[in-house]
Structure 1
């Protein structure tokens, strides 16, 4: 993550919490430009981490469903 109070999240929930805090700070609009850019960069990294974690979970569930004889998630009709 970025340099200020950034750490690699332990899990999805922690990353999501950090991302929510960053969004709130940015929405307030009172951060100096450099801090806002740093916070935005950290938010992008957290968002990517969350997306990767969700994608991995989805793949795991899909694999488990196909191994157990269930219909794969991408084969489900709407």
Structure 2
């Protein structure tokens, strides 16, 4: 499982796996393999989302948005 896939690519692959499983398009052995791949892709997507969350948190913290004042009229 490569970590070089974009989040969007992971989601597309997951959608395809779900579609194949829901429509009974795979023999049992292939369905189990697809399910396992889906679990791995889900974990990879969660890792990517956590990395993005951490990055956004750092950006917000480093730029200290509390220093900005909003003009309220």
TM-score bin, normalised by smaller chain: 0.7 to 0.9
Match of 1:74 in 2: none
Deviation at 1:29, TM superposition (A): 1.9
The two structures have a TM-score, normalised by structure 1, of 0.76
- Matched residue pairs, number? 65
Q: Name the SS of the counterpart of 1:47 in structure 2.
A: helix
The two structures have a TM-score, normalised by structure 2, of 0.80
Q: After TM superposition, which residue ranges in structure 1, 4 or more long, deviate above 6 angstroms?
A: none
**Unmatched runs of 5 consecutive residues or more in structure 2:** 67-73
- Report whether the alignment pairs 1:58 with 2:53: yes
Q: Name the SS of the counterpart of 1:10 in structure 2.
A: coil
Deviations for 1:29-74, whole angstroms, at most 9, x for unmatched residues? 2421111100000000111111100010001001110110126xxx
Alpha-carbon separation, structure 2, partners of 1:63 and 1:37: 39
**Structure with the higher helix share, 1 or 2:** 2
**Unmatched runs of 5 consecutive residues or more in structure 1:** 2-7, 72-78
Return the match for 1:31 from 21, 26, 39: 26
Over the aligned positions, Cα root-mean-square deviation in angstroms equals 1.4
